[in-house]
Structure 1
Amino acid sequence: MTSIASITLEVADLAAADEFYTKAFGLGGQIRLRASQAPTTGFRGFTLSLVVAQPANVNALVDAAVDAGATTLKPAAKSLWGYGGVVQAPDGTIWQIASSSKKDTGPATRQVDEIVLLLGVEDMAQSKRFYVDHGLAVAKSFGSKYVEFATGSGAVKLALYKRRGLAKVAGVSPDGTGSHRLTVDADAGSFTDPDGFAWTTAPDSESLGAR
């Protein structure tokens, strides 16, 4: 089963991005950074989600991100499915921070239970078939709207969402051009998917750029 070891974010200012992620989330090896000046505008077609146990943890992470320089796209609030908010890091990456619980069960922590990479795709059937052919097993599928793949032993879960729908969830316009500024580090080899997202063999080193 294909598994994702980490995500590499391409950032314009490596030192500033490293400082932000250390202060905001402290994720360590799951999120890697690489310097890049690749042109990009607007929505980059993906979000990263931090799934946590309770609303207090959502608030703790959102507050830490904003204190470190993030912009609030959607304030943390209750919804039909739970509790969550959306922030945008100074490097442009959009982060959803969410819990399926609507009630706190203990003191607030910044513990992250799961990291989910959501890719915005144009043709769900085509992208789903592409990833199945590359060794990912479907865990959940909701027609043309959403597909979630089994995590395996990887540190990051992959899900597909319609691009316009994902932008709406994130609170931004779906328009965007240029580089995704993202590489998926996995054990599936190197390839580029139908929407232009690049995958590469996961690095053996714990350090890539500033991380």
Structure 2
Amino acid sequence: MTNIDTITLEVADPAAAERFHAAAFGPTVPLRFRAAQEPSTGFRGFTLSLVVAQPADVDSLVGTALEAGATTLKAPAKSMWGYGAVVRSPDGTIWKIATSAKKNTGPATREFGQVVLLLGVADVAASKKFYADHGFTVGKSFGRMYVEFESTSPVKLALYRRKALAKDAGVAPEGTGSHRLAVNGTAEPFTDPDGFAWETTATAELS
């Protein structure tokens, strides 16, 4: 089964981005940073999510993210599925912090259970087949709306329609240029139908 080891964010200032993410979410988020080479405008077509245990943890992580320099796209709020918020980092990466729990069961922490890389794609069914052909195992699938793949690593891959993902993040769906993202994992290098680049972890470590 193919897995994701780390996510590489392409940013204007890698050192500043690393400082922000460590201050906002702690040092254990599996991220790498490198200088951006290509132009990018608008929505980059992906979001990253931190899945946490309770609403207090959402509030805690949103608070430290805002203190570190993030901006709010969606303030913390209850919904049918739980409780969550969306923020944008100074380098432009969109982060969703969410829990399926609606009540707190203990003191607030900054711990998270999993990171989810959610790609906004033009055709969910076609991308589902593409990733299955590249060794990913489908965990959940909701027709042409949403697909989630199984993972034994800290990062889980999911697919969502681009417009729906942008709406969920609180931004307009339009965007041009680079995704400013590389996915590092166990697969051989490839680029998916929506232009998302994948690199082997060993290659990423050398870049």
| TM-score, L = length of structure 1 | 0.95
The corresponding residue for 1:188 is: 187
Aligned to 1:2: 2
**For each residue in 1:84-140, what CA deviation from the matched residue of structure 2 results, as whole angstroms up to 9, or x when unmatched?**
000000000000000000100000000011100000000111100000000000000
Given the superposition, is the C-alpha separation of residues 208 and 53 from structure 1 closer, same or farther in structure 2, using an over 3 Å criterion? farther
Residue 22 of structure 1 corresponds to which residue in structure 2? 22
**Alignment correspondent of 1:55:** 55
Which letter does structure 1 place at the counterpart of 2:24? A
Return closer, same or farther for 1:35/1:208 CA change in 2, 3 Å cut-off.
farther
Alignment gaps of 5+ in structure 1: none
Residue in 2 aligned with 1:175?
A: 174
| Secondary structure, aligned partner of 2:98 | strand
Amino acid in the other structure paired with 1:120: G
* Partners of 1:33 and 1:208 within 8 A in 2: no
- The Cα of 1:204 is off from its aligned counterpart by 7.8
* Structure 2, gaps ≥5 residues long: none
What corresponds to 2:98 in structure 1?
98
Q: Distance in 2 between matches of 1:147 and 1:172?
A: 21
- The answer to whether residue 26 in structure 2 is matched with residue 31 in structure 1 is no
Q: How many residues align?
A: 207
Instruction: Please give the per-residue CA displacement for 1:15-69, whole angstroms capped at 9, x wherever unaligned.
Output: 2111101100114361111111420000000000000000000000000000000
Separation of aligned partners in 2, 1:120 and 1:62: 23
Paired letter, 1:165: A
Distance of 2:29 and 2:22 partners within structure 1: 11
- Percentage of pairs with the same residue: 64
Deviates more, 1:159-168 or 1:195-204: 195-204
Cα 1:96/1:67, change in 2 over 3 Å: same
Q: Is structure 2 residue 141 aligned with structure 1 residue 136?
A: no
- Secondary structure (helix, strand or coil) at the match of 2:33 reads strand
Q: Would you identify which runs of 4 or more consecutive aligned residues in structure 1 move more than 4 Å?
A: none
Counterpart of 1:188, as a letter, is A
